[in-house]
């Protein structure tokens, strides 16, 4: 089979590998779509992920072959994959925080991922894709799930106000989740015009290319926003977030960067602001995300800007997505 092998910073090449053969509790899936995630882009840009391997954890496909002990599924079933492989035994797994499991392996991180024609995964990772969801929308659930995890962690309430910094995939899903969760006012900020235009289709109360305190406060009120979601990974915006959050409010940090940054501790102490980090989601969030898409409460369509063949994954995928004026948001690879 054809695969895209990651070999470190700015190095991915197309190589042939033997087709996977399932172990007794595994299934082999013909991959139809795999999304390029922000974390995949980060590894490609920085070489941060140390191992050679096949990336890609946002996967939808069709079951091709079953291991000898897999009974509940049949060849031809349409499925999506929860890439997490929590150990089930550690402190966090027992508390239900499986996204914090001390085990590090996941599909596309340590185990071969979805930038390949076929993938083998443990049976427990596969989830049936409802008929109401088209194939190309079958890859977005961990991103919606991350937004759900964020809203739960901060105990989001009807009538709360929100600012979302960064309209990448997670920001755009958060915007939609805030709408259906009863946010009274929503401001979004994104410097890339293409992304801002997509955001406007989901009707935020205000969409800006940069942080403008008077304009934001005109919408969310003089005290500032109840919650500010930092989804851009831009260091300047973290301090801006502290400025536009109301006292006793939340800054929710979802964007990532590889170097330490300076923040104003005084501001966050004096205003009694909580900074809440969010990484990934639980199985429960993942499955609820599927339901929201199936019921058409969340729409992935405007966020998916391109579907490309595996052969073009470097030029039209990774390189295109990291170029500064990209019009890409979510790129799907169709192996
Ligand atoms: Zn992802
Ligand atoms: Zn665990």
Span from the CA of 97 to the centroid of ligand 1 (angstroms) = 18
Instruction: Determine the pLDDT at residue 234.
Output: 84
Instruction: Determine the pLDDT at residue 81.
Output: 98
Span from the CA of 39 to the centroid of ligand 1 (angstroms) = 6
The ligand that comes nearest to the alpha carbon of residue 35 is 1
Span from the CA of 194 to the centroid of ligand 1 (angstroms) = 21
Span from the CA of 38 to the centroid of ligand 1 (angstroms) = 6
Reported as a single tens digit per residue, the pLDDT across 226-266 is 999 999 988 888 889 999 999 999 999 998 877 888 888 99
pLDDT class of 49 with cuts at 50, 70, 90: confident
User: For residue 53, is pLDDT > 90?
Assistant: yes
Span from the CA of 286 to the centroid of ligand 2 (angstroms) = 17
d(CA 300, CA 33): 14
pLDDT class of 324 with cuts at 50, 70, 90: confident
Q: Please choose, from the candidates 215, 172, 161, 178, the residue with its C-alpha nearest in 3D space to the C-alpha of residue 196.
A: 172
Mean per-residue pLDDT of the chain: 95
The ligand that comes nearest to the alpha carbon of residue 89 is 2
Instruction: Determine the pLDDT at residue 258.
Output: 73
Q: How far is CA 332 from the centre of its chain?
A: 13
In the chain, which residue ranges form alpha helices assigned H by DSSP?
A: 38-46, 91-95, 141-153, 169-180, 193-200, 213-220, 235-244, 265-270, 283-294, 320-322
The ligand that comes nearest to the alpha carbon of residue 55 is 1
Span from the CA of 110 to the centroid of ligand 1 (angstroms) = 14
d(CA 51, CA 49): 6
pTM of the model: 0.96
Least confident window among 75-84, 103-112, 219-228 = 103-112
Instruction: Determine the pLDDT at residue 182.
Output: 98
Span from the CA of 125 to the centroid of ligand 2 (angstroms) = 15
Q: Where in the chain is the domain with CATH 3.90.180.10?
A: 2-140+300-334
Reported as a single tens digit per residue, the pLDDT across 270-286 is 999 999 999 999 999 99
Span from the CA of 37 to the centroid of ligand 1 (angstroms) = 4
Reported as a single tens digit per residue, the pLDDT across 180-204 is 999 999 999 999 999 999 999 999 9
> Which CATH architecture group holds 147-277?
3-Layer(aba) Sandwich (3.40)
Span from the CA of 279 to the centroid of ligand 2 (angstroms) = 15
Q: Which residue has the tokens 């934001």?
A: 216
The ligand that comes nearest to the alpha carbon of residue 173 is 1
Span from the CA of 169 to the centroid of ligand 1 (angstroms) = 10
Q: Please choose, from the candidates 221, 207, 259, 223, the residue with its C-alpha nearest in 3D space to the C-alpha of residue 238.
A: 259
Return the CATH number of 2-140+300-334, one of 3.90.180.10, 3.40.50.410, 3.40.50.1220, 3.90.25.10. Answer: 3.90.180.10
Q: Where in the chain is the domain with CATH 3.40.50.720?
A: 147-277
Burial class (CB in 10 A: 0-12, 13-18, 19+), 145: buried
């Amino acid at each position: 089979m054809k695969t895209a092998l990651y070999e470190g910073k700015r190095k991915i090449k197309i190589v042939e590998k033997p087709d996977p053969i399932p172990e007794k509790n595994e299934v082999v899936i013909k991959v139809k779509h795999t999304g390029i995630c922000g974390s995949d882009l980060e590894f490609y840009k920085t070489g941060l992920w140390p191992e050679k391997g096949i990336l890609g954890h946002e996967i939808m496909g069709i079951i091709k072959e079953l291991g000898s002990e897999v009974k509940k599924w049949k060849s031809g079933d349409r499925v999506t994959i929860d890439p997490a492989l929590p150990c089930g035994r550690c402190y966090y797994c027992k508390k239900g925080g499986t996204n914090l499991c001390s085990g590090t392996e996941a599909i596309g991180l340590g185990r071969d991922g979805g930038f390949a024609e076929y993938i083998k995964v443990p049976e427990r990772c596969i989830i049936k894709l409802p008929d109401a969801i088209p194939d190309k929308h079958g890859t977005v659930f961990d991103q919606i799930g991350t937004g759900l995890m964020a809203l739960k962690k901060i105990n989001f309430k009807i009538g709360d106000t929100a600012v979302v910094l960064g309209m990448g995939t997670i920001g755009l899903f958060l915007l939609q989740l805030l709408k259906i969760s009863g946010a009274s006012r929503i401001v979004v900020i994104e410097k890339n015009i293409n992304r801002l235009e997509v955001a406007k289709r989901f009707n935020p109360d205000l969409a800006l290319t940069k942080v403008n305190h008077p304009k934001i406060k005109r919408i969310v009120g003089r005290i500032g926003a109840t919650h500010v979601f930092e989804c851009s990974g831009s260091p300047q915006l973290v301090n801006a977030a502290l400025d536009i959050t109301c006292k006793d409010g939340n800054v929710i940090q979802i964007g990532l960067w590889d170097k330490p940054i300076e923040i104003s501790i005084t501001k966050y102490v004096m205003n009694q602001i909580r900074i809440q980090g969010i990484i990934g989601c639980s199985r429960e969030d993942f499955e609820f995300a599927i339901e929201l898409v199936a019921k058409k409460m969340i729409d992935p369509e405007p966020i998916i800007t391109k579907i490309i063949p595996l052969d073009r994954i470097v030029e039209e995928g990774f390189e295109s997505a990291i170029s500064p004026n990209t019009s890409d948001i979510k790129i799907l690879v169709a192996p």
